[in-house]
Amino acid sequence: MSQRAPIALTSKTQRKKQVAALQELGAELVALSDEQLAAIELPERLRDAVMDARRATQFEAKRRLLQFIGKLMRHADTEPIRAALDAHRARSQGRTAAHQRIEAWRERMLEDPGAVAELLAEYPGADAGRLQALAHNAQRERAENRSLRSYRELFQALRALIESA
């Protein structure tokens, strides 16, 4: 008598959660830009469904297409797709963090004249005179409700400094 391997049973709730997770993954694919989507290798039928979902304007049509994408993803290898989306998220979060860091330095420089010295301690190659002049001009522009040209220039100078480090 031959022995059968035990069958792994999953509950209906677990299957529903798996399907919902695949639909969410599909929704993330739909939300990507053209360049980001092109960088991810997808089966042709799945790529077509994602493109159709992007073009859909009616709620119900989009919902049905997302369900269809989830169904297609059940038969596709989702690990490379998840890895590509995770990498995209990490790059996006890194850019956001860098932007917030630059904003924080700019605000510190506008509020505290001693912040330029702190910036020089962290970034010794910075042009202290230019940064101080930009910060001073930005403070004056803000106080006089003028165009914030120096405010933007200060951000750009800080971005160049921080990204080059």
| pLDDT in single tens digits along all 165 residues of the chain | 445 555 556 888 998 998 899 999 999 999 999 999 999 999 999 999 999 999 999 999 999 999 999 999 998 899 999 999 999 899 989 999 999 999 999 999 999 878 888 988 888 888 889 999 999 999 999 888 888 899 999 999 999 998 887
Could you tell me if residue 4 is inside a domain? no
1 domain-assigned: no
- Global pTM? 0.62
Range list of β-strands (E), the chain: none
| Domain presence at residue 120 | yes
Q: Which domain holds residue 66?
A: 12-76
CATH number at residue 55: 1.10.60.30
Domain-embedded: residue 39: yes
68 and 128 together in one domain: no
In a domain, 89, yes or no: no
Residues 6+ apart with CB under 8 A from 13: none
Give the helix, strand, coil percentages of the chain, each rounded to 5. 75, 0, 25
Residues 66 and 113 in one domain: no
- 14: amino acid identity, one letter: Q
